[in-house]
């Protein structure tokens, strides 16, 4: 353990076990460097999980506070609201709960979910989720059939099988217990009737999608 173990900052204490002789910013740190004649590596600090927590907490708050407005939208709009929320929560889990997000491939979670590296856009890009034209005037099933193949793999092969646990984890992680009320038996129910849960079933999943689902199964 380095010197960050006794820090009063929760963020700094996360790095107490790093194999680096980290010091907090202090006159003592600079004096020691001068005495030993060694360079100083200055880190401005960054933690993707903290960024996601702040970001997603505001998004979830917006969803909950505007639920009545959302109820007035068309079925396709309400469907994609749920898809987008699931994507946002899942990307957070990639960096903060990678075993939940990717199962045996958990080691890839922080790389795929780090917003600085650009890979997070694969999961957050609405171009892979939302239709090209508005207003949405078709049936939900038609939009599902038109979803990009890669987008469908993400939604139905990777995210959907762990959706119940994802919402429960997110409720605890974000300190927002009302999130648990937006999922039921693995089906999103934000302004969506549970009786219409068939849209979340993955009977149309390809063989490749079924393989990915098995390989990334949460453990």
Q: For residues 165 and 218, is the Cβ–Cβ distance under 8 A?
A: yes
**Nearest partner of 155 among 80, 218, 207, judged by Cα:** 80
- Percent helix, strand and coil across the chain, each to the nearest 5: 65, 0, 35
C-alpha 208: how far from its chain's center?
Answer: 23
Q: Residue 77 and residue 36: Cα distance in Å, rounded? A: 63
Ranges in the chain, pLDDT < 70 = 1, 9-12, 14-15, 18-19, 42-47, 126-132, 145-148, 202-204, 218-219
Alpha carbon 159 to its chain's center:
10
Q: Is 187 helix (H, G, I), strand (E, B) or coil?
A: strand
CA 100 vs CA 109, 114, 120, 168: distances in Å: 10, 16, 16, 11
Q: Which residues contact 71 (CB under 8 A, 6 or more apart)?
A: 78, 191
Quote the crossing angle between the two packed helices 75-96 and 163-173, to the nearest 10°. 70
Residue 203's pLDDT is 55
Q: Are 47 and 11 in contact (CB under 8 A)?
A: yes
Token couple for 55: 């970001």
- d(CA 12, CA 54) in angstroms, rounded, equals 18
Rounded CA separation 160/207 (Å)? 16
C-alpha span between 161 and 164 (Å, rounded) = 8
The residues pairing with 183 across neighbouring beta strands, listed in sequence order, are 188
Q: Contact 111/123 with Cβ under 8 angstroms? A: no
- Tens digit of pLDDT for each residue in 163-219? 999 999 999 999 999 999 999 999 999 999 999 999 888 656 777 878 888 878 866
Residues contacting residue 186 through CB under 8 Å, at least 6 positions apart: 160, 163, 164, 200
């Amino acid at each position: 353990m380095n010197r960050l173990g006794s820090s009063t900052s929760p963020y700094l204490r996360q790095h107490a076990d790093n194999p680096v002789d980290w010091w907090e910013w202090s006159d003592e740190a600079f004096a020691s460097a001068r005495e030993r004649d060694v360079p100083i590596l200055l880190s401005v600090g960054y933690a993707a999980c903290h960024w996601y927590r702040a970001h997603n907490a505001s998004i979830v708050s917006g969803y909950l506070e505007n639920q009545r407005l959302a109820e007035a939208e068309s079925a396709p709009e309400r469907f994609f609201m749920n898809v987008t929320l699931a994507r946002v929560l899942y990307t957070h889990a990639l960096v903060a709960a990678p075993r939940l997000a990717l199962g045996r491939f958990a080691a890839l979670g922080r790389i795929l979910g780090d917003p600085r590296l650009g890979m997070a856009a694969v999961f957050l890009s609405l171009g892979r989720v939302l239709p090209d034209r508005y207003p949405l005037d078709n049936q939900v099933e038609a939009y599902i059939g038109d979803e990009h193949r890669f987008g469908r793999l993400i939604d139905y092969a990777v995210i959907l099988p762990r959706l119940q646990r994802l919402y429960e984890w997110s409720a605890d992680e974000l300190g927002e217990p009302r999130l648990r009320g937006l999922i039921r038996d693995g089906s999103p129910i934000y302004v969506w009737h549970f009786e219409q849960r068939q849209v979340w079933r993955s009977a149309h999943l390809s063989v490749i999608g079924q393989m990915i689902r098995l390989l990334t199964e949460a453990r």
